[in-house]
Structure 1
Amino acid sequence: MIAIWTVLALAALFLLTLVFNALRAGLRRPRPGSGQPPVPENIRDGYAHGLGRMIACATVSHRGEYDDTEFAKLRDTVRALFPRFHARAEYRVFGEDCWVYRIPGADGARAVMLMSHHDVAEAGDAGAWDHPPFSGEVADGAVWGRGAVDTKGPLYAELQAVEELLAEGWTPPCDFYLASSHNEEIAGDGIPLAVKYFQEKGVTFDFILDEGGAVIAPPMPGISQKCAMIAVHEKGRCSLGCRAEESASHGGLAGRSDTPVMRMAKFMIEMSARPPFRRRLYPEVRAMFTQLCPYMCFPLRLVFANLWCFSPLLLKLMPRLNPQAGAMVGTLCAFNSVEGSAKAQACSAEAFLRCVREEDLKADLAAFEAAAGRYGVTVERGGEYEYHAPADLSSPALAYVKECAAAVFPQCACAPFLLPAGTDARHFSALCRSVLRFAPIDLTPDQFASVHGRNENLDVKALADAVVFYKYLLAHLM
């Protein structure tokens, strides 16, 4: 009987601990501030038409070729739109058209940088767009066209914020840089060349802020308000060549299920359905859950306020319930190409792995090769490999960017996250411990989905809020 009561008491204590942690997490929810004064409508409209002029420059980047025509038009446009900025800032070009501006600050030993890119993805079938992709039309409360979100909208807001601050007599407290690449969409050499220059000059940065996160709809159910998501890390990348060859002396002697194509297909299916990779709640993911937890409804808060208990269950369920969430707990594998046929003597494929931690990738590569061996597939590691360190979660810079986001978007939750995609900012991780990725643009799910799709657009109000954010960020620098 004593044993039964002991078990019941322990069970009650366990449940009370779970509930107490969930209630305590709810109390940590910040009280929203009053926000910033709204931007007058006539000024918002001016911003929108300025961005429209930049969108009208069809700066599409292409692999293996560069035509300066539209890029030259954009350079002329930004010089006309932002005369004070161009009169004040030093200007360097890397590669064909990667811009790096510098405004000297009071303390030349320190520096910060804002980033964007002014090249855009192809628009596809222009006839499928509601508004021509390079018209920059302002309609229905939004600016329409390729690059409105990715990332001429944020670039316009950065430039406009500095233009207005300079008109008010602003001098940065430290050196201020603004960089924009002409070939980010094709993983080009613009920003890497700039990084080489900074390394040679010994320039480091207190923080760098690029695209990657945004103000978006809740990234998980059970949260009622929008979220300002700041990416503090992006996945590394590794390309692998895979090859399966005919196992019998004659194709007709091999079993129908043992052809190179069939074996490669089975291997690819296994890597997609049951990848043998490590799964962990990395610090960036834990921080995201912890900081979003106060905004969750109680049942979810019960789980995420007690990660010490529910982490193993989450690691199993996340990849199955939400592919985006699953991408944050370990290496992902995608096959970019496959070549072969039923009559072919061999079948080859290119695998593309995205890893969270470099040390985990080594174990995941071994597991990948072991799985390949079971299907008679050989793996060649000679492809692309790239990994960059995450930002420091405890850095004052991250706390400051979150503070600025709360000041401009007071009704939003704010949290770090791990970005599965790639940005130019990754190249700076050796020069800065606080490489952050957050474009302060408020996006609907449709606008988020329009990036690299059709009907890309950005609300006029969202553009104005982005200008306010960058002004606040720069004006309150220490």
Structure 2
Amino acid sequence: MIEASTSVRPDIAERLARMVRVPTVSAERDIRGVEPFDKFRALLRELYPRVHDELTLEVFAEVGLLFRWTGRRSDEPVMLMAHWDVVPVDETDPWTHPPFSGTIAGGSVWGRGTLDDKGQLCVLLDAVENLLAAGFQPERDVYLSLGGDEESHGKGAQATAAVVCERGIRPWLVLDEGGAVTDAPLPIVPLPAAMVGVAEKGVLTLRLDARGAGGHASAPGRELATTRIARAVRRLQRHPFPARLSTSARAMFSHFAEHTEGRPRRITRALAAVPPVTARVLAALGGEPAAMVRTTVAVTMLAGGTASNVLPSQASATLNVRLAPGDSIANAVASIRRVIRDPQVSVSVVEGTEASPESATDNAQWALIRSAVSETYPEAVTVPYVQMSATDSRYYHVFSPATYRFAPLLMTQRQRDAIHGVDEFVTIDSLERGERFYRHLIRSIPA
């Protein structure tokens, strides 16, 4: 292995800062135009010349970048993923440093995307650039799949994955964003842990529609379209999906029990031992704990009516459903219809992807990730968990069963709260460790 100080370029923080200064807000592409995206791609070529000169590059759906690094064998390659678009910023929010300034201060880089996900992109590309400079060739082909529209649920990664599958390429390992290294994964677990997503909840958008007789608001009927939608929403809130502890969640608590002592060990051991009780306890806590153990339904949009004095002839609600592993789109739709129990309210699927299967933790791929964590974060335990938000890797798990979700960056609770929020930042030490993570992982890929 190359020592940390050998063939490693300095100024990784400045490279990330320059990335942050390009506002690649995919949700605002219609407003900002393609200029920031073209500028960012030009910046990547400037910052990573060897990556662009020595790897082959294909572009899919305008923003899906796929680099291929030829290894000693081409079958069962490794797919390393990140994305370079970011979410919008409310300019009135009280940022300590302007969100697109890429300010370097206090041993950190500040700005939108430093954690999600330009920081991961930066450490990945730095590692590859450093290895190329050292003349290294991986044992297997390594693909870098870098999406430019992940935050807006675009087609970049989907188009890339479709071509990869069409060509008969079956990655031995897929590693995308997801978990991170955290100082305390749960309030009851004061344990540095590298949380690696071994499964991902599915994402489903549903629309509820109701129609009714319009007319003047001075003489409302008994069953308005808005009334039906309101009642349907209330029934969904009162009857959530059943809670159950997945294999991954149980494994997570088992890992915690193995590496803690005293009261935390007793609690986590008990949680792992009685899954039905644990599921009910977590569901009762609400928020993230509840989302760990059940399919969730969030009403994100409501619409109906044209004027304050006119009875609406139609009304609608948009639901964001996150499918727990083991649930399916068909079963979720059927369950929601049963709960609503109103034939005058239609339930239609707008779009959706199924929940992923749970990747193994007793295989060579997991051992490779754990080894890279131990090399760069020796104080952290590698722990499996269920990823609750959607990642671009959801397009790969269908044909690549060893799909994992982990960003090798340290994220405290404060930093996790800042993702998609205010004052997002990453420490320079974390960037340097993240680069070493990928360098170790790539050098350790087995033949």
RMSD: 2.6
Aligned to 1:409: 377
CA distance in structure 2 between the partners assigned to 1:82 and 1:233 by the alignment: 32
CA distance in structure 2 between the partners assigned to 1:440 and 1:218 by the alignment: 16
Check the 8 A contact 2:235/2:340 in 1, yes or no.
no
**1:47 is matched by which residue type in structure 2?**
I
Aligned to 2:187: 221
CA distance in structure 2 between the partners assigned to 1:189 and 1:54 by the alignment: 22
User: 3-state SS of the aligned residue for 1:268?
Assistant: helix
Match of 2:350 among 358, 361, 383: 383
**Deviation per residue, 1:62-110 (Å, 9 max, x gap):** 3673833122222222222222222211111112122111111001223
Aligned to 1:57: 22
Aligned to 1:351: 319
Distance 1:444 1:346, change over 3 A: same
Distance 1:363 1:89, change over 3 A: closer
Aligned to 1:261: 226
User: 3-state SS of the aligned residue for 1:111?
Assistant: strand
State the aligned residue count.
437
User: 3-state SS of the aligned residue for 1:454?
Assistant: coil
Check the 8 A contact 1:203/1:431 in 2, yes or no.
no
Is 1:318 the equivalent of 2:286?
A: no
Distance 1:175 1:247, change over 3 A: same
Check the 8 A contact 1:99/1:180 in 2, yes or no.
yes
Deviation at 1:250, TM superposition (A): 9.0
Check the 8 A contact 2:209/2:346 in 1, yes or no.
yes
CA distance in structure 2 between the partners assigned to 1:190 and 1:360 by the alignment: 25
Aligned to 1:191: 157
Aligned to 1:425: 393
Check the 8 A contact 1:225/1:412 in 2, yes or no.
yes
Aligned to 1:26: none
Structure 1 or 2: larger strand share? 2
Where does structure 1 differ by over 6 angstroms across 4 or more consecutive aligned residues? 36-40, 247-251
Match of 2:124 among 155, 158, 171: 158
**1:99 is matched by which residue type in structure 2?**
L
Deviation at 1:322, TM superposition (A): 4.3
Aligned to 1:69: 35
Aligned to 2:341: 373
User: 3-state SS of the aligned residue for 1:161?
Assistant: helix
Structure having the higher Rg: 1
Stretches of structure 2 that go unaligned for 5 or more consecutive residues are none
Deviation at 1:309, TM superposition (A): 5.2
Distance 1:451 1:423, change over 3 A: same
Deviation at 1:143, TM superposition (A): 0.6
Aligned to 1:32: none
User: 3-state SS of the aligned residue for 1:269?
Assistant: helix
CA distance in structure 1 between the partners assigned to 2:9 and 2:430 by the alignment: 9
**2:445 is matched by which residue type in structure 1?**
L
Distance 1:360 1:167, change over 3 A: closer
CA distance in structure 1 between the partners assigned to 2:215 and 2:51 by the alignment: 71
Check the 8 A contact 1:126/1:133 in 2, yes or no.
no
**Deviation per residue, 1:244-302 (Å, 9 max, x gap):** 444899973645xx654344334323423431x23221111111111122234534433
Where in structure 2 are the equivalents of 1:160-309 lying within 5 Å? 160-246=126-212, 252=219, 254=221, 259-275=224-240, 277-306=241-270
Percentage of pairs with the same residue: 29
Check the 8 A contact 1:45/1:460 in 2, yes or no.
no
Check the 8 A contact 2:139/2:445 in 1, yes or no.
yes
Distance 1:231 1:103, change over 3 A: same
CA distance in structure 2 between the partners assigned to 1:170 and 1:316 by the alignment: 51
Comparing 316-325 with 120-129, greater Cα deviation is found at: 120-129
CA distance in structure 1 between the partners assigned to 2:9 and 2:417 by the alignment: 24
